[in-house]
């Protein structure tokens, strides 16, 4: 399923509007940089790797709209790169594409298409490595996984990351169940992960976020699989709010906790989790849902979009290149580095 694309009818970025799912499948045709920035901020397009693709096509749009004015094209691309602060790929994708501005708008678009294609290759390698590890570390029967947020095609482009690994197991006949946390406040798990699992015919159940630790404590889960938005150089993982709670509970219950993400998510210039900028989002996401206010009007709100899980609670960070554990590094001996 293509969630971010370029319109052949004119300079426009086409997005599958994830805010409307699962009730409706609607596409946005964005012809302005303001439109791209707004779509990113309001989560019409979301998920760290897919934000990289959106950033790259957004750069192509800026290059086409401001052909002959490279200063403005670069400044507009910078606005896209900074539309959300936590996910690494957004700025990487935008900067990679706009780096070819000197060759003209068509070259920027070609690079955006390359970002999209590279993502599919990365996802295929990371998800099959994660599926192999899950099977090898499992109990020798089909696996019961717990996940949070949405890390499938919608979030990552073709192949997904953590949810992609679960779907690889499903294809192999070694998936018993995915327990999907609903992921308050915006329900990416309930709306998007469940939609993708149902489309794939993969066995699943939905639970409230606070049921995750209880499922772990009572032996309902063989492994936790999550994605990542930014991984510090020391291995601390920023991911959707609620991840840390699951990591603590998994450690307490002795259940493996896998992070599946592209290598580019590992940020060598962010030394530790304490250095990661965690996006804080609007109060309205917490004070109500679907237009209905669910608390006392005017209640002050704490709404971080992400939390940081210390590397020590992670069994392995699985990328297209390696599985990186607090005490073991396989497949590649070097410390994280930007390619
Ligand atoms: O705020 P979102 O929906 O963009 O959240 C980001 C994510 O999709 C998750 O944190 C995900 O687990 C990692 S990125 C595939």
Q: Mind listing the pLDDT tens digit for each residue in 280-300?
A: 999 999 999 888 999 999 999
Give yes or no for a contact between 239 and 226, defined as CB atoms under 8 angstroms apart: yes
Give the pLDDT of residue 9. 87
The token duo for 141 is 């029967």
CA–centroid distance, 242 to ligand 1, in Å, is 12
Give the pLDDT of residue 8. 81
Q: Whose CA is nearest to atom 8 of ligand 1?
A: 47
The residue among 243, 132, 224 whose CA lies nearest residue 179 is: 224
- Cα 220 to Cα 38, 156, 196, 229, distances in angstroms: 40, 27, 22, 27
Count CA within 13 A, CB hemisphere, residue 16. 20
Sort strands 230-232 and 237-240 into parallel, antiparallel or unpaired. Answer: antiparallel
Gap between the Cα atoms of 158 and 3, Å rounded: 9
Considering the entire predicted model, what is its pTM? 0.94
Give the pLDDT of residue 137. 94
* Average confidence (pLDDT) over 105-134: 98
Angle (deg, nearest 10), helices 105-137 and 162-172: 60
The residue among 229, 158, 155, 246 whose CA lies nearest residue 193 is: 155
The three-state secondary structure class of 115 is helix
Residue 163 has pLDDT above 80, yes or no: yes
Give the pLDDT of residue 1. 65
Gap between the Cα atoms of 305 and 43, Å rounded: 12
Gap between the Cα atoms of 140 and 153, Å rounded: 28
Ligand 1 in reach of 151 Cβ (< 6 A): yes
The token duo for 42 is 């309001």
Residue 333 has pLDDT above 50, yes or no: no
Give the pLDDT of residue 289. 87
* Average confidence (pLDDT) over 76-80: 98
**Residue to mutate (ligand 1; options 3, 88, 151; most atoms within 8 A of CB):** 151
Domains of the chain: residue spans and CATH: 4-119 (1.20.120.420), 129-334 (3.40.50.10470)
Burial of 223 (0-12, 13-18, 19+ CB in 10 A): buried
Atom of ligand 1 nearest to the CA of 48: 14
* Average confidence (pLDDT) over 56-80: 98
For the chain, first and last CA: distance in Å? 28
Ligand 1 in reach of 126 Cβ (< 6 A): no
Give the pLDDT of residue 339. 30
Beta-carbon contacts of 146 under 8 Å, excluding residues fewer than 6 positions away, are: 178, 179, 181, 212, 215, 216, 220, 221, 223, 224, 225, 246
The token duo for 224 is 């936790």
Ligand 1 in reach of 315 Cβ (< 6 A): no
Give yes or no for a contact between 88 and 265, defined as CB atoms under 8 angstroms apart: yes
Residue 332 has pLDDT above 50, yes or no: no
Give the pLDDT of residue 2. 81
Give the pLDDT of residue 291. 87
Residue with tokens 């309001």: 42
Ligand 1 in reach of 240 Cβ (< 6 A): yes
Residue 15 has pLDDT above 50, yes or no: yes
Ligand 1 in reach of 52 Cβ (< 6 A): no
Residue 335 has pLDDT above 60, yes or no: no
Gap between the Cα atoms of 325 and 283, Å rounded: 36
Strand order in the sheet with 257-260: 204-207, 175-181, 143-147, 223-226, 257-260, 316-318, 323-324, 329-330
Gap between the Cα atoms of 6 and 8, Å rounded: 6
Average pLDDT, the chain: 95
* Average confidence (pLDDT) over 41-47: 98
**Residue to mutate (ligand 1; options 188, 224, 259; most atoms within 8 A of CB):** 188
Atom of ligand 1 nearest to the CA of 305: 1
Which residues participate in catalysis according to the annotation? 229
CA–centroid distance, 187 to ligand 1, in Å, is 11
The residue among 241, 317, 228 whose CA lies nearest residue 279 is: 241
CA–centroid distance, 130 to ligand 1, in Å, is 18
Give the pLDDT of residue 254. 98
**φ/ψ (deg, to 5) at 260:** -115, 120
Band of pLDDT at residue 328, cut at 50, 70 and 90: low
Give the pLDDT of residue 327. 76
Torsion angle in degrees (nearest 10) through CA of 154, 272, 55, 120: -50
């Amino acid at each position: 399923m293509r969630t971010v694309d370029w319109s052949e009818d004119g300079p426009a970025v086409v997005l599958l509007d994830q805010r409307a799912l699962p009730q409706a499948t609607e596409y946005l045709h964005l012809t302005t940089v303001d439109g791209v920035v707004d779509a990113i901020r309001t989560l019409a397009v979301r998920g760290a790797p897919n934000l990289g693709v959106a950033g790259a096509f957004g750069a192509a749009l800026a290059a086409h709209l401001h052909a002959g004015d490279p200063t403005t094209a670069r400044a507009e691309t910078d606005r896209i790169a900074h539309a959300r602060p936590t996910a690494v790929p957004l700025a990487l994708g935008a900067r990679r594409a706009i780096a070819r501005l000197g060759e003209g708008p068509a070259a920027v678009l070609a690079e955006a298409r390359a970002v999209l294609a590279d993502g599919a290759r990365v996802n295929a390698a990371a998800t099959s490595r994660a599926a192999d590890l899950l099977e090898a570390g499992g109990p020798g029967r089909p696996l019961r996984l717990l996940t949070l947020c949405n890390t499938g095609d919608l979030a990552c482009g073709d192949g997904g990351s953590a949810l992609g690994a679960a779907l690889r197991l499903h294809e192999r006949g070694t998936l018993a169940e995915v327990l999907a946390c609903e992921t308050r406040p915006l329900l990416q798990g309930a709306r998007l992960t469940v939609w993708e699992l149902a489309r794939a015919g993969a066995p699943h159940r939905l639970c409230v976020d606070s049921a995750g630790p209880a499922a772990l404590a009572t032996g309902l889960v063989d492994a936790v699989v999550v994605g990542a938005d930014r991984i510090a150089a020391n291995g601390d993982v920023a991911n959707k709010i609620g991840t840390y709670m699951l990591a603590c509970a998994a450690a307490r219950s002795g259940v493996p906790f896998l992070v599946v993400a592209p290598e580019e998510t590992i940020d060598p210039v962010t030394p530790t989790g304490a250095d990661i900028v965690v996006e804080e989002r609007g109060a309205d996401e917490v004070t109500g849902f679907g237009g209905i206010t669910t608390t006392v009007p005017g209640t002050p709100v704490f709404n971080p979009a992400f939390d940081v899980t210390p590397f020590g609670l992670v069994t392995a960070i699985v990328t297209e290149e390696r599985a990186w554990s607090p005490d073991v590094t396989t497949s590649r001996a070097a410390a994280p580095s930007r390619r």
